[in-house]
C-alpha cells in the first residue's frame, strides 16, 4: 500500500520535472487547480449516490491526485510536502477524538459534538495572528456551495445561542420572508428582490436544520426528481411527433402530474 503511495508521489514529481515533465502539469498552480479539485469532489459524491463502487475507487483516486498535486506544488515552494499533510490530519484526528485516543468519556452524541466543536475553536484560536479575537464564524470556507456554507455558518451561530429553540417560529419566519419577497417583487426593485430572495433561502436552510435535513442534499435530490419528471414529459411529447414548444403549458402540466404518478409507481 505504501509502495503505491510512494509511486504516485514519484509520478507527480516526474510530471512536474522542469526538463522532462508534462507541459500542462508544469503550467498549473494552486489557483488553476481549483476547478479540478471541486469537480473531482463532486464526482466522488456522484459515484456514492449511484452506489457504483468500482467508479468510487477510481474517483477517489482522482481526488487523491489533487491532494498529491497540491502537495507537490507546495514542496517545490518549500512550504510543506505530502508527508506533512498526512501528519497534520493525523494529529488533528487524534486531537479531536479524545474518547478514542485519550481518557475522555462522552455519554451522548451531544457531548461528543460539543467537544468536537471546542477542539475546532481551540484550533482557530491557535491560528490568531493578532490581538483581535477570531470570530466564531471564522474558518467556514467561502468557496463552499451556498447552501452548505449557509448551514455551517448557522450551526456555528447556534452553538453560541443565536438560533430559535425549535421549529415552529422558523415556519413563521419563512412565511414572513416569503411575504417580503412578494413586496419586493411588487416594488420592481431588482436589487431588493434579490436581497429578499437571499433572506428567504437563508431562513429555509434554517428550517431544514431544525428538521434535521441537509439542505444541500435535499435540493440535489429534488433537482434530480425534477429532471426525471421533465424527461418523462419530453418522451410523451416526442412520442406524439411534436416538440415541447408545440405544446401549451396546460398540456405540459398535465404530463407533469402524470409523470408524478407513473414514476412514483416505478419506485414503489
Show pLDDT as tens, one digit a residue, over the chain (268 residues). 589 999 999 999 999 999 999 999 999 999 999 889 988 998 998 899 889 999 999 999 999 999 999 999 999 999 999 999 999 999 999 988 888 898 888 888 888 877 877 777 777 677 665 556 667 787 787 778 889 899 999 988 998 889 999 999 999 999 999 999 999 999 999 999 999 999 999 999 999 999 999 998 899 899 999 999 999 999 999 999 999 999 999 999 999 999 999 888 766 5
Residue carrying the nine cell digits 495572528: 129
**Would you state the pLDDT for residue 85?**
96
- Does domain 146-213 fall under CATH 2.130.10.10? My reply is no
Domain regions of the chain by residue span: 2-80, 146-213, 217-267
pTM, to two decimals: 0.65
**Would you state the pLDDT for residue 267?**
62
CA 130/CA 144 separation, integer angstroms? 26
Q: Is 67 helix (H, G, I), strand (E, B) or coil?
A: helix
**Would you state the pLDDT for residue 18?**
95
Q: Is 21 helix (H, G, I), strand (E, B) or coil?
A: coil
Domains 2-80 and 146-213 share a fold: yes
**Would you state the pLDDT for residue 110?**
80
**Would you state the pLDDT for residue 2?**
81
Q: Phi first, then psi: give them for residue 163, nearest 5 degrees.
A: -170, 160
pLDDT digits (tens, 9 = 90+) for 31-51: 999 889 988 998 998 899 889
CATH number for the region 2-80 comes to 1.10.287.1080
**Would you state the pLDDT for residue 128?**
63
Phi-psi region of 241 (alpha: psi -120 to 50; beta: other; left: phi over 0): left
Which whole-number Å values give the CA distances from 94 to 85, 89, 90, 127, 264, in the listed order?
Answer: 15, 9, 6, 19, 46
Which whole-number Å values give the CA distances from 22 to 13, 18, 66, 72, in the listed order?
Answer: 10, 8, 16, 14
**Would you state the pLDDT for residue 25?**
97
**Would you state the pLDDT for residue 63?**
97
**Would you state the pLDDT for residue 239?**
93
248 CB-near residues (< 8 Å, 6+ apart): none
Amino acid at each position: 500500500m505504501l509502495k503505491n503511495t510512494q509511486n504516485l508521489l514519484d509520478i507527480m514529481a516526474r510530471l512536474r520535472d522542469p526538463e522532462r515533465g508534462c507541459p500542462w502539469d508544469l503550467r498549473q498552480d494552486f489557483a488553476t487547480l481549483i476547478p479540478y479539485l471541486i469537480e473531482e469532489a463532486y464526482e466522488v459524491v456522484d459515484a456514492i449516490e449511484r452506489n457504483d463502487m468500482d467508479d468510487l475507487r477510481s474517483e477517489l483516486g482522482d481526488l487523491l491526485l489533487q491532494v498529491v498535486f497540491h502537495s507537490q506544488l507546495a514542496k517545490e515552494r518549500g512550504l510543506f510536502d505530502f508527508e506533512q499533510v498526512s501528519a497534520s490530519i493525523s494529529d488533528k484526528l487524534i486531537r479531536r477524538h479524545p474518547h478514542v485516543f485519550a481518557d475522555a468519556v462522552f455519554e451522548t452524541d451531544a457531548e461528543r459534538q460539543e467537544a468536537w466543536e471546542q477542539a475546532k475553536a481551540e484550533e482557530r484560536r491557535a491560528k490568531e495572528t493578532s490581538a483581535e479575537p477570531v470570530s466564531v464564524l471564522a474558518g467556514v470556507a467561502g468557496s463552499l456551495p451556498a447552501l452548505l456554507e449557509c448551514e455551517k455558518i448557522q450551526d456555528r451561530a447556534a452553538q453560541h445561542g443565536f438560533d430559535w429553540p425549535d421549529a415552529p417560529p422558523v415556519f413563521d419566519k419563512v412565511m414572513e420572508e416569503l411575504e417580503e419577497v412578494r413586496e419586493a417583487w411588487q416594488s420592481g426593485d431588482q436589487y431588493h428582490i434579490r436581497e429578499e430572495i437571499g433572506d428567504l433561502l437563508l431562513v429555509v436552510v434554517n428550517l431544514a436544520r431544525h428538521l434535521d435535513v441537509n439542505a444541500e442534499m435535499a435540493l440535489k435530490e429534488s433537482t434530480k426528481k425534477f429532471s426525471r419528471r421533465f424527461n418523462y414529459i419530453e418522451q410523451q411529447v416526442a412520442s406524439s411527433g411534436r416538440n415541447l414548444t408545440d405544446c401549451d403549458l396546460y398540456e405540459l402540466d398535465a404530463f407533469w402530474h402524470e409523470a408524478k404518478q407513473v414514476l412514483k409507481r416505478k419506485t414503489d
